[in-house]
């Protein structure tokens, strides 16, 4: 392969970013329907069932954190090795990623069979919530292979420039989930009535279908990675280090999000379980809104990583600038829309009058954070792809755990009112976006030096 002729290095940046990111933005947008659809149908069972899923969501996100982090690492290290002409290293990276996903799955099977009931008993004494939450999370953890392998194989496709097949893989899984959710929850036609367990089964089997489809697309279309049982059985320590060097901040991002959500739930439970259910709806809604930003990140990372390795600094800067602009416009439009229809959104989750009273002001306050968070997500991912993962890690710690928990606690303690407590969400995003801009500018001063070093290595190897 003549990597100098790769579209990563030659196609106009705007066109390249659209071709790489748009399919991923669509697929991530569709993928967000997993959690939205689950909650919509589960809410029809009971408010306690919705609360159970809301309490389970932070722990489900632990799976996503690990899967996305590993996939982001793969989507950066493989294009970099290909740009430097290291096909063997790219193969080791890809197969080591498969080994890691197998290891993750084994760990969560054991955790799913042991610790889940205790997790729910820590938070509530409502037996229906404990029972439903245990069923849901046990299934999601023990059958979690689709989360890990889906993210891995989809990001292998994206990293090699095959974004459209990655979109198809995710879309197939999402469509499966949407179709089978009501069938398995309510027992429609020949299907058994499984209640909340049906929502979990629809999700995990949809993810497995997406993972299998992505694997087959890699075998057919991705010539940057060659799968080998021998390489899977003998993972490379260097590959593990390289994958985690880029991907660990993403793991921390979503992992801290889970930790922060857990502690925020404890604060909101002091008011009512309904407040926790409303927060769970906001998390699903926020996740839905940010999926295009995550899709943009997936398209952006391999472009930045490849061109950084090639010393094409102008293409790197243009990519980041365009990504920020697109996501900022998107988030502003969403903010305006959601400010107008919070009652419609809550109505999709069968909200009671009490939930509407709590939820309408909560949604209107929370959506102010969307444009701020969009900028932060793009800048932090750009820093991660440009080997400044420590900056990304700092931003993620602030944004996902430290500031939200601290501000929720302070606003609740100082005001004593639930309505003002929700202001913790936009306040936290304001601090983190300021931090992200400062760190990105600091990183930009070092970028030329890094580029010269990488270019020198590439010339030496050639």
User: pLDDT at residue 455 above 60?
Assistant: no
Predicted confidence (pLDDT) at residue 458 exceeds the cutoff of 60: no
Burial of 10 (0-12, 13-18, 19+ CB in 10 A): exposed
pLDDT tens figures, 271-302: 999 999 999 899 889 988 998 888 888 788 88
Asked if the model's pLDDT at residue 3 lies above 50, the reply is no
Identify the DSSP state of 32.
T
Mean pLDDT, residues 194-199 taken together:
95
Output the 3-class SS for 225-271. Answer: CCCCHHHHHCCCHHHHHHHHHHHHHHHHHHHHHHHHHHHHHHHHHCC
Residue 135 Cα distances to 53, 112, 176, 228, angstroms:
10, 10, 21, 36
Of the ranges 197-206, 316-325, 441-450, the best mean pLDDT one: 197-206
Return the pLDDT at 5: 47
At 166, the pLDDT band (50, 70, 90 cuts) reads: confident
Please provide the DSSP assignment of 198-210 as one string. Answer: HHHHHHHHHHHHH
Percentage, residues of the chain above pLDDT 70: 94
Burial (0-12, 13-18, 19+ Cβ within 10 Å), 9? middle
The 8-class DSSP code of residue 351 comes to -
Q: What is the pLDDT of residues 294-323, one digit of tens each?
A: 888 878 888 887 887 777 888 888 889 999
How far is CA 439 from each of CA 72, 131, 433, rounded to the nearest angstrom? 21, 45, 10
pLDDT number for residue 359: 96
Q: Report yes or no: 433 and 446 within 8 Å, Cβ to Cβ.
A: no
Residue 4 has pLDDT above 50, yes or no: no
Mean pLDDT of 418-425: 96
What are 344-366's pLDDT values in tens digits? 999 999 889 999 999 999 999 99
- Does position 171 have pLDDT exceeding 90, yes or no? no
236-261, pLDDT tens digit by residue? 999 999 999 888 877 877 788 788 98
Going by C-alpha positions, the residue among 88, 68, 241, 67 that lies closest to residue 145 is 67
CA distances from 407 to 158, 202, 368 (A): 37, 36, 16
What's the rounded Cα separation, in Å, for the pair 332 and 325?
11
Tell me the DSSP string of 128-187: HHHHHHHHHHHHHHHTTHHHHHHHHHHHHHHHTT-HHHHHHHHHHHHHHHHHHHHHHHHT
Strand, helix or coil at 445? helix
In whole angstroms, give the CA distance from residue 266 to residue 259.
Answer: 11
Whole-number pLDDT of residue 159: 79
In this model, does residue 454 exceed pLDDT 60?
no
pLDDT of 156 reads 93
Burial category of 117 from C-beta neighbours within 10 Å (exposed 0-12, middle 13-18, buried 19 and up): middle
**Which range among 260-274, 391-405, 446-460 shows the weakest confidence by mean pLDDT?**
446-460
Give the pLDDT of residue 146: 96
pLDDT value of position 21: 81
pLDDT tens by residue, 84-141: 889 999 999 999 999 999 999 999 999 999 999 999 999 888 999 999 999 999 999 9
Alpha-carbon distance of 242 to 74, in angstroms, equals: 9
Residues 212-223: pLDDT tens digits?
999 999 999 998
Q: What is the pTM of this model?
A: 0.74
Confidence at residue 452, expressed as pLDDT on a 0 to 100 scale: 60
* Percent of residues in the chain assigned helix, strand, coil, to nearest 5: 85, 0, 15
47-69: pLDDT as tens digits: 899 999 989 988 998 998 899 89
**CA–CA separation, 62 and 391 (whole Å):** 22
Indicate the SS3 state at residue 42.
helix
Arithmetic mean of pLDDT, 13-17: 84
Give yes or no for residue 1 having a pLDDT over 90.
no
């Amino acid at each position: 392969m003549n990597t100098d002729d790769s579209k990563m290095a030659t196609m106009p940046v705007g066109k390249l970013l659209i071709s790489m990111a748009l399919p991923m933005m669509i697929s991530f947008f569709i993928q967000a329907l997993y959690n939205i659809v689950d909650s919509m149908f589960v809410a029809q069972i009971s408010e306690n069932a919705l609360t159970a899923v809301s309490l389970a969501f932070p722990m489900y996100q632990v799976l996503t954190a690990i899967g996305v982090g590993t996939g982001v690492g793969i989507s950066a290290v493989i294009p970099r090795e290909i740009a430097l002409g290291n096909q063997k290293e790219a193969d080791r990276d890809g197969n080591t990623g498969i080994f890691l996903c197998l290891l993750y799955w084994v760990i969560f099977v054991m955790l799913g069979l042991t610790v889940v009931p205790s997790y729910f008993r820590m938070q509530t004494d409502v037996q229906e919530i404990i029972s439903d939450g245990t069923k849901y999370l046990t299934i999601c953890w023990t059958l979690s292979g689709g989360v890990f392998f889906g993210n891995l194989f989809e990001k292998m496709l994206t990293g090699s420039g095959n974004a459209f097949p990655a979109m198809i893989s995710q879309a197939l899984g999402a469509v499966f989930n949407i179709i089978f959710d009501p069938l398995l929850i309510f027992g429609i036609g020949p299907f058994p009535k499984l209640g909340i367990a049906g929502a979990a089964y629809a999700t995990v089997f949809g993810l497995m279908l997406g993972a299998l489809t992505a694997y087959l697309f890699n075998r057919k279309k991705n010539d940057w990675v060659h799968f080998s049982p021998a390489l899977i059985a003998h993972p490379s320590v260097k590959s593990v280090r390289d994958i985690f060097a880029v991907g660990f901040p993403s793991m921390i991002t979503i992992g801290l999000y889970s930790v922060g959500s857990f502690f925020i739930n404890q604060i909101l439970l002091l008011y009512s379980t309904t407040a926790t259910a409303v927060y769970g709806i906001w998390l699903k809604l926020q996740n839905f809104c940010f999926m295009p930003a995550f899709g943009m990140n997936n398209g952006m990372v391999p472009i930045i990583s490849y061109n950084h390795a090639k010393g094409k600094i102008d293409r790197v800067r243009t990519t980041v600038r365009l990504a920020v602009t697109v996501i900022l416009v998107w988030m502003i439009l969403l903010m305006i829309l959601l400010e107008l229809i919070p009652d419609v959104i809550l109505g999709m989750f069968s909200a009671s009058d009490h939930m509407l009273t709590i939820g309408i002001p909560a949604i209107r306050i929370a959506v102010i954070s969307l444009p701020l968070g969009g900028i932060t997500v793009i800048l932090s991912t750009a820093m991660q792809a440009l080997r400044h993962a420590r900056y990304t890690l700092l931003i993620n710690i602030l944004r996902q755990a430290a500031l939200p928990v601290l501000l929720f606690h302070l606003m609740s303690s100082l005001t004593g009112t639930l309505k003002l407590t929700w202001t913790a969400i936009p306040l936290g995003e304001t601090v983190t976006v300021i931090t992200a801009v400062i760190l990105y500018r600091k990183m930009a001063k070092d970028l030329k030096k890094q580029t010269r070093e990488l270019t020198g290595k590439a010339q030496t190897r050639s």
